[in-house]
Structures are given as C-alpha cells and as structure tokens.
Structure 1
C-alpha cells in the first residue's frame, strides 16, 4: 500500500478538496494473477469472474493472463468483448432472458451454464432458430453437506442451479436437444472459503458425484467447472488462503480424475482482484455521541458496500496529512474505539466499527485495504447524489485518472 499512500499524499499536496478515491495497483494485479495462473496444473484453466470488478483497466490487465472471463449478464459479455473479440467467455447466473441468451450466442459466448430445465428449453429454441450448436454445462445444486464458508449457494434452498434430484431429467433433456451440446457440469457451492484442505474436499465431492452420474446414466462428459469460492480473509490480511498448499494437493487430486475430463476450470473473482485495490477517504469530522467516537469520512457504503453487506469491519490504515488550513484547533482522537461512517443519512452507513487507533485527525485519509473486489461494483452509487469517487489506476508507478 506504500504506492497508494504516496499517491494520496501527492494529491493532497496538489488539491485541498476532500479526497475520495478508489485506487487500483495494476502492476500488483498482474503479478498476483500471473502467480496464481502459472502455478495451476496444466489441466486446469483459471477464468476471471467479472462480477467482482468489471472496470476496463482491470479486465485489460487480467485478459492476457487468464483462461477467459466468466460473466453473468449480457452487459458483462459486452464488456468482455470490448476488451477482446476472441477471449473465451462462459455465461452463468440465474434468470437469463431470451435477449441475453441470443445476445450471448451472437457475441460468441464459449459455453452457457444452464441454471434450470426451463432455461435449457428456451436456449434450445433460440439455438434452433439461429441454426447454431451451443455448448452447455448443467449447473447442479448439490445436496451437500459442504465445508463451512461465508456464503453457501448450494446444499440448501437457493435460486442457483438445478436440484440434484433432477440431474437425470436434465441430462436426458439436454441429450434430446438437437442444437445443444452437453459438455459437462458446473458447480459453485460456496463463497469465501479460506481453508485449502476443505476446498480440496469440495473438489473430491464433485469428482465422486460426476463419476457416479456417469456410471449410473451411461454418459461421459469432457468438462467440469468447479466454480470459485476461494476467499479473502478481511479479518486478518496477513493470513490468506494458502494457494501453494492448495495447488500441491490439487496435483495429486487431479490424478484421480478420469482422463476424459479434458477441460477443468476455476472461475475466481475476489481471490484475483481484492488485494489490488484501496479505497482512500478523507476524515471530515470526528465527534462523540452517547459515549461512542465517530469518524465521518468523505464517502461511505454508496462507494464501498462490501463491509455493510458482509457485516464486518473492513481493515484500513491511517495516512497522516499534516496540512491544516483552518484557524481553529484540529480535532483528533486516539486510544479509544472509533466507528468509521460515511456521509449517508442512515445509521447503516458503517465501514468499520470499534477500531482502536493510536491517533486519527480531521484531514487525515483512511486507506481501506483489499477493496479491489465487490467494492465499487456492488455499491448504490447515486444514493443521495453525492459525487462519485475518483478512479485511479496505478501502472508502472504512475496513476491514471478515469471517470466513473
């Protein structure tokens, strides 16, 4: 984060306006993604789940390093194609419209992840009308039980995937569809798993399920998408998912996968982009209400919704800014718990709670860390019509400002 702190101090020296900016270190992003993809066994490809962050400079950085993009809307397909006309694109997510299915076909989506029997029927109808053959995976909502993680998308009632009890029906329907090519299965059961051994156990469950279906139903598939779900530890940034231990275990596990499963893939988002981002916000006010210290910043959850969405205190550093223009004393606090809030007219606009700092002053900048995923992309940008934050992309040490 030192580069980001330098940029923040530089901008404050040039401009007195309260600072509010998302910063992305594209050099770090490229290095991180390269390390992840190059350490994977050759049999597995890493797709980037664009929902985590679909800003164009981020996509352009990842595109040469990943196996392709995973998308969940036609808008994301269009963003992917704006970056590359031929990069592989896989299209998942529930509730796809006919317009999205047809638009995806016309824009060269590599394969669709079919989320329901109804979607399968509609996709067959559209493919027949266009006289094309469309590769598909069936997304299955398995019964579990699964390892614990922050979010669980399967093993319980959710809107995701085809119920495991309908696997045989879905396979039969796909095989009867003259314009669909069933290549295999898609699983995305957990999100933000931090334990490599549990993730290997999850992949073992996938292996056993598919092998059992192949034997029972007399089929052979070529492709498995084992989803994402590899997490980021926001509570302790120094204790992240042990990717090296995971890939060591993965090498041995893949030896037990049938040889005809030729195409294996992950689709990670947060794990690839979170660490490249920072959200810098200037302290506008410090006050005490009913015995509790509040630090109010230029920004809030309308720019960075992840903390309130996940109900956690997001980690940050204090970037001290010594300049003070006002003729009255500068308010500060330290040594007692503070709650960091934004400018919105709701008590839910909280970025961090009960954090003890040595010192924080009005005019200092709080730099929230690991904000490169599910930050700006999931936030309600225009609530109260506050100005949008700057978007700064650091490449080879130089920031590039873009509009939002």
Structure 2
C-alpha cells in the first residue's frame, strides 16, 4: 500500500483504503475452494460501493441484494438485472415493483406472504418471477458461529411447516418456484462448522425435493465464509470444502456435474473483508484516573460494525504496528458509546499519529452510524497495483418533497 501519511495528506482522515488486487485474490481463493460449476453471488450488504461490485462482476460474480439502494448500486456496477438475486424478509410492494420494473426476475421468498407479494407484482408487470424458497431448517448442524437457522426467525420458511403450506407455495400466481435457498450461519468459526451446515443443507434440500415434489433447478446453499473483522489476521483458505461438497452432491444430486441443479453460494465478508483498511488519526491523547485514552477522528459513525456481527457495541478493534503499551480507543462523537476498543495494544501514541485498522473492507462505512452527529464521511480510495485508481466520498443529502394538497 502507498504510504499512509501520503494518502491522508491527499484525501484526509479518516480514510478507507481498498486494495482491489486483494479483492480479486479472495475471489480466486473462493473459486478454488468450491466445486466447479458453482455460481457465487456477491452480497452487497457487505460493501455496496459500485467499484467493489464492478470488480467482482468482472471476476464472474453475480449480485445478491436486499434493498432498493443495493439494487441501484448493483446496476451501477454493471450487474445484469436478469441475473440479480433479490432477497430479504421485509420486501415491500414498492421495492418489488421497482426491482421487476428494472428487470429483476429472481427472488428469494422468506414466507408465504412474501411469495404472494412478489407474485402480485409480477402479474402487474405481465411477467412471471422465478422464486427460491428460503428454508429455515429445523436443526442446526454446527454449534458455533452466528446462527441463522434452527431457531424462531424472520428468515425463511420453517421446515416443519412445509407439509401445510407447500401446495399453496407451488401454486402462487405470478411465480414459478425454481429451487431452494439456505443460509444457516454467518462467519463460520471453523471449516468443519461450515462443511457441516453446507452438507446438511444439501441433504435437507434433497429430502424436500423427494417429499414435496419441489422442482430444484437452482440450489443456493448460502454462505458462512469467514474473515477477520477490524483486527489483524488472515482470511481462511478452505482446503476440505470442495471434496466434502462434491461427496454430498454426488449422494443427493447425482446429476449436479452436468448442471442439474445449478448451484450457488453467496458471500460478502469473505470477498471484501481483507481488501480494506481504515486510516484514522489521533487527535488527543489523555489520561483519566489511571487509564490512557486515544481520541480518534473515526468513531462509530465511521466504523460501527452494526451489521452481521451478532452483537452491537462496543467494538473490539486492534491496530497494526509494533505495540508500545495499551490505550482505550474512542471516536470524536459526543456520546460514551463512541468506543472502538478498550485497552488495545497500540504503537507509540502522539497527536497526529495515524493508526491502521485492518480487515474492514466489508461491514465498514455503510454498516456504521454515518448520519449520527453530522460529521463528514471519510473518503474511500481504491488501489490497483499499488496505485490510486479512484477515490470517492459518500454524501448524505436531504431531498425536498412536495407536500400533500391542502384539504
């Protein structure tokens, strides 16, 4: 990476720096870890910047979105609308109408009501929507990681309710059920947990196919691929995953090698996590009742980490550099909740020192409280081959609306 001081001099502090070469490397590693023929959906919730999306599109990824904003970012990044997967448990009529109007034709349905809403919109547009039924499995296979199945949830159709609802799902006007969607865990703690959930999803999908005669043209087994967040560390490389998935698919879907069904995974953090770091400058070093504080120009408005971590505040960041003691890292906001880490090992501290928070390419800026207290957002700088190739800044603006007519 270029010298942090030079980048901060040019673009200000705090500053997000994304290395697109590392983004491409993550895509290659994931491709190598999966059996041939898998489609990878990039989950824009991790980082919706169009340059991130465009880079992954060029590497063969498709887009998975859960909001109108993410859809517009995906389209700006060049993802073909007809290949976008639109998910999420709270899709409104207005956003479904917009998505179909923009050319989206594939949706993940989280409930019978969600499927009906998609179908109603599709009929208004004179089209049929291809839909995956997202399944909330009855029991988890892994005991660690962030659980997203096997519990009461807003996500997915409870597996045990399928006998009562399946006929209605398959006959929902305006829709064509083309397969199943699973997302049992997030940020798997280890490869064995990831494999256990993925192979169980494959087995459950086969059982649903056989019991309920569900056509499975597409099987999305979700994600769970891990990456360190806001601390030093390396993204894992999955050495056993390919073989274990191949064995499970050979058992339950023996025609998979000829494309029946089409197979997919989705991930955000694994692809983006280690491509980004946050540069932040110490504005004040102070001591208070036996503790040392470093007040930074980046706080929870810049690195909130509110999405996908299974917990809220405080964060527990660690910084790169040779340790020279500890300090509590706080941001500049006027709230005691603006805390990035307690008693963090830090290099020598002084006003003006730039700290580097690694592994925040995913769930960084747009997962933060960017509107809180009205501080300017950091710039985002993109590197390729060690050179700056683009720089942008996300701005929040209010748009005037026309008031309703007087009665």
Fold in common (TM above 0.5): yes
Aligned residue in 1 for 2:39: 45
1:148 and 1:193 in contact (8 A); partners too: no
Q: CA 1:255–1:235 in 2, change beyond 3 Å: closer, same or farther? A: farther
Q: CA 1:144–1:381 in 2, change beyond 3 Å: closer, same or farther? A: same
Q: CA 1:310–1:188 in 2, change beyond 3 Å: closer, same or farther? A: farther
Q: Secondary structure at the match of 2:5?
A: helix
Q: CA 1:351–1:394 in 2, change beyond 3 Å: closer, same or farther? A: same
Could you list the per-position Cα deviations for residues 320-361 of structure 1 after superposition, in whole angstroms to 9, with x for gaps in the alignment?
Answer: xxxxxxxxxxxxxx7543111100112221112212335222
- In the TM superposition, residue 286 of structure 1 has moved relative to its aligned partner by 0.8
Q: Summarize the alignment of residues 26-175 of structure 1 with structure 2, pairs less than 5 Å apart.
A: 26-84=20-78, 86=80, 88-175=83-170
- In the TM superposition, residue 27 of structure 1 has moved relative to its aligned partner by 1.9
1:292 and 1:337 in contact (8 A); partners too: no
Aligned residue in 1 for 2:278: 279
2:202 and 2:248 in contact (8 A); partners too: no
Q: Write the distance in 2 (CA, Å) between the matches of 1:100 and 1:403.
A: 26
Q: Write the distance in 2 (CA, Å) between the matches of 1:70 and 1:262.
A: 19
Q: Write the distance in 1 (CA, Å) between the matches of 2:346 and 2:172.
A: 62
Could you list the per-position Cα deviations for residues 168-221 of structure 1 after superposition, in whole angstroms to 9, with x for gaps in the alignment?
Answer: 344311321242111111111211103111111112211221222222223442
Q: Secondary structure at the match of 1:128?
A: helix
2:67 and 2:95 in contact (8 A); partners too: yes
Q: Secondary structure at the match of 1:279?
A: strand
Aligned residue in 1 for 2:263: 264
When normalised by structure 2's length, the TM-score is 0.88
Q: Write the distance in 2 (CA, Å) between the matches of 1:184 and 1:219.
A: 7
Q: Write the distance in 2 (CA, Å) between the matches of 1:357 and 1:67.
A: 38
- In the TM superposition, residue 237 of structure 1 has moved relative to its aligned partner by 4.1
When normalised by structure 1's length, the TM-score is 0.88
Q: Where in structure 2 are there 5+ consecutive unaligned residues?
A: 395-407
1:234 and 1:315 in contact (8 A); partners too: no
Aligned residue in 2 for 1:193: 188
1:403 aligns with 2:402: no
Q: CA 1:194–1:66 in 2, change beyond 3 Å: closer, same or farther? A: farther
Aligned residue in 1 for 2:312: 309
Q: CA RMSD in A?
A: 2.3
Q: CA 1:67–1:341 in 2, change beyond 3 Å: closer, same or farther? A: same
Could you list the per-position Cα deviations for residues 236-270 of structure 1 after superposition, in whole angstroms to 9, with x for gaps in the alignment?
Answer: 74454332332343333332231264211111000
Number of equivalent positions = 384
Q: CA 1:387–1:130 in 2, change beyond 3 Å: closer, same or farther? A: closer
Could you list the per-position Cα deviations for residues 351-404 of structure 1 after superposition, in whole angstroms to 9, with x for gaps in the alignment?
Answer: 122123352222110110001000101111121111211211112322232122
Q: Write the distance in 1 (CA, Å) between the matches of 2:19 and 2:137.
A: 38
Q: CA 1:115–1:388 in 2, change beyond 3 Å: closer, same or farther? A: same
Q: CA 1:403–1:64 in 2, change beyond 3 Å: closer, same or farther? A: same
Q: Secondary structure at the match of 1:51?
A: coil
Large movers: runs of 4+ above 6 Å = none
Q: Summarize the alignment of residues 205-284 of structure 1 with structure 2, pairs less than 5 Å apart.
A: 205-234=200-229, 237-238=232-233, 240-258=235-253, 259=255, 261-284=260-283
Aligned residue in 2 for 1:176: 171
Aligned residue in 2 for 1:384: 373
2:41 and 2:64 in contact (8 A); partners too: yes
Q: Secondary structure at the match of 1:313?
A: coil
Q: Secondary structure at the match of 2:26?
A: helix
Q: CA 1:202–1:100 in 2, change beyond 3 Å: closer, same or farther? A: same
